[in-house]
Amino acid sequence: MSNIHEECGVFGVYSRDGLDVASLCYYGLYALQHRGQESSGIAVNDDGVIHCIKGAGLVNEIFNKDVLAGMGRGQMAVAHVRYGTVGNDRRLNAQPLVVNHVKGRMALAHNGALTNAGELREQFEMHGSIFHTTSDTEVIPYAITRERLTSSSIEEAISRAMNALKGAYSLIVMSPSKLIAVRDPHGFRPLCIGELENSVIFASESCALDAIGARFVRDVEPGEIVIVDKDGMRSDRTHVGAAQKSTCVFEYIYFARPDSVIDGSSVHVARARAGAFLALEHPVQADVVVGVPDSGLDAALGFARQSGIPYGIGFIKSKYIARTFIEPVQADREKLVRIKLNPVSATVRGKRVVLVDDSIVRGTTSARIVGLLREAGATEVHMRSSAPAFKNPCYFGTDIDSRDKLIACQYTEEEIRTMLGADSLGYLSCDSAKLLADNSHGFCTACFDGNYPETPPTSCGKSKYERRISEAEA
């Protein structure tokens, strides 16, 4: 509901038991659909031949039984769901990317964003490379292929390519004989390992492992390269510890599903903890606590438990409408709020309501939600955000706007409260945000405090930076 996009979700299977890898990817992507609703794709390796089907739309819009059956069973597969932050052509930039080169074929799925994509693209183009997408992802297979020409293995080429890549990247790479998972040295985006019978699964979140009945094994460590082939699973730890761990804290606040576990910490527990911190930092006299579905619900429960104020179901969410940020026009997004969310008047009528949402970005959607509660009879509405105020753009895979589009950069907290129509307003503190997970260390909170773990592009603001990459081929 807060108009924030996450770039994508990745999923991969290496089967030693003749499993239907395409169908496993289908169900895995279904579980990761919340991470990307713009395009979907699956690539299957069948005896060294890669069959790839992808397109604009949700998973069930691209794939059905006949399509999956036509991809062959194969031994390996890699899959992807996307909501792009760089490159806006949905069909053109759909993944996985499949590359043919002198050492063979390669399919790649990427979650994150590179901060030096523009520089790398220019370097490759000056040496004759031809780009087919407007996404920053395409420079990654070019970097790997360049190194593969003089490397003894694909994993060595990936390790060498990592020296040139800056920013966020959780990757699944499929060669004719290997499936490889890669996480950048900062660990900005999640990536985990699972097992199903004798098969190995890679996924952005553990909820995708649960969806196919796989057992969670562990997370891929920041900087680690995990290789699976006929000889088993092994790890290249050359880049582990090369940078300070900086997992995106917003994975816990908003992006990930609450039933996922990231780097050993439950997302549900982290969100409930955010609500408890909010109750301590911004107490209020009220009659009921309600959350904005979906990612505000866990935080609202935590607020209620900490404050002693009863928790109530304040909204019913339609199950048949995609996230409001899918609509490209702000006016259309605002119209969809009423269709997507309907207040439960019996919960809020005549009561002082604490409204907990995951974040406040531009404020327009939040204002309409406050208005819905007023219309339903709430006498007071006290707005609480389980994220700190956004004051800086993100360059690491989150579509958090340039400063001129962030409401907290343009107005004071009191002015924002008035614009939202709320009786009071409270944001989670940045200090508390760093304590949400059980492994409460090594978070990236740059969008809140400006402390970027890696130098962002400095030649221009985020909007111009992304537009420059997207229009690089023009």
Same fold, 8-246 and 266-444: no
Token code pair at residue 343: 């207040």
* 180-205 confidence digits (pLDDT tens): 999 999 999 999 999 999 999 999 99
Predicted local confidence at residue 72, as pLDDT = 85
Look-up of token digits 């920041």: 222
Whether 62 shows a pLDDT value over 70: the answer reads: yes
The C-alpha atoms of residue 403 and residue 200 are separated, in whole angstroms, by: 42
The CATH number corresponding to 266-444 among 3.30.70.580, 3.40.50.2020, 3.40.1190.20, 3.10.20.90 equals: 3.40.50.2020
Predicted local confidence at residue 363, as pLDDT = 87
Inter-helix orientation angle 139-148/154-161, to 10°: 120
Look-up of token digits 């006949």: 66
What mean pLDDT do residues 33-59 have? 93
Could you tell me if 134 and 422 are in contact, meaning their C-beta atoms sit under 8 angstroms apart?
no
* 17-30 confidence digits (pLDDT tens): 889 999 999 999 99
- The full DSSP string for 399-427 is -PPPGGG-HHHHS-HHHHHHHHT-SEEEE
Q: CB 77: neighbour CB atoms within 10 A?
A: 35
Token code pair at residue 346: 């019996």
Which residues are CB-neighbours of 367 under 8 A, at least 6 positions away? 419, 420, 421
The C-alpha atoms of residue 142 and residue 101 are separated, in whole angstroms, by: 10
Predicted local confidence at residue 327, as pLDDT = 43
Predicted local confidence at residue 217, as pLDDT = 98
Active site residues: 8
The C-alpha atoms of residue 430 and residue 432 are separated, in whole angstroms, by: 5
The C-alpha atoms of residue 331 and residue 337 are separated, in whole angstroms, by: 10
Whether 328 shows a pLDDT value over 90: the answer reads: no
The C-alpha atoms of residue 395 and residue 231 are separated, in whole angstroms, by: 38
Predicted local confidence at residue 413, as pLDDT = 96
Predicted local confidence at residue 474, as pLDDT = 38
* 430-462 confidence digits (pLDDT tens): 999 999 998 767 899 999 999 999 988 865 555
Q: What is the pTM of this model?
A: 0.91
Predicted local confidence at residue 88, as pLDDT = 53
- The full DSSP string for 56-119 is ES-HHHH--HHHHHTT---SEEEEEEE--SS---TTTT-S-EEEEETTEEEEEEEEEEETTHHH
The C-alpha atoms of residue 96 and residue 393 are separated, in whole angstroms, by: 27
Pairing between β-strand 443-444 and β-strand 247-248 as defined by DSSP bridges: parallel
The C-alpha atoms of residue 401 and residue 407 are separated, in whole angstroms, by: 10
Give 14's strand partners: 76, 200
What mean pLDDT do residues 245-257 have? 94
Which residues are CB-neighbours of 304 under 8 A, at least 6 positions away? 275, 289, 310, 311
Pairing between β-strand 49-56 and β-strand 39-46 as defined by DSSP bridges: antiparallel
Mean pLDDT of the chain: 90
Q: What is the DSSP letter of 149?
A: T
CATH for 8-246 is: 3.60.20.10
238, exposed or middle or buried, with CB in 10 Å at 0-12, 13-18, 19+?
A: middle
Predicted local confidence at residue 132, as pLDDT = 83
Stronger pLDDT, 84 or 388, i.e. the higher one: 388
Domain parsing of the chain, residue ranges: 8-246, 266-444
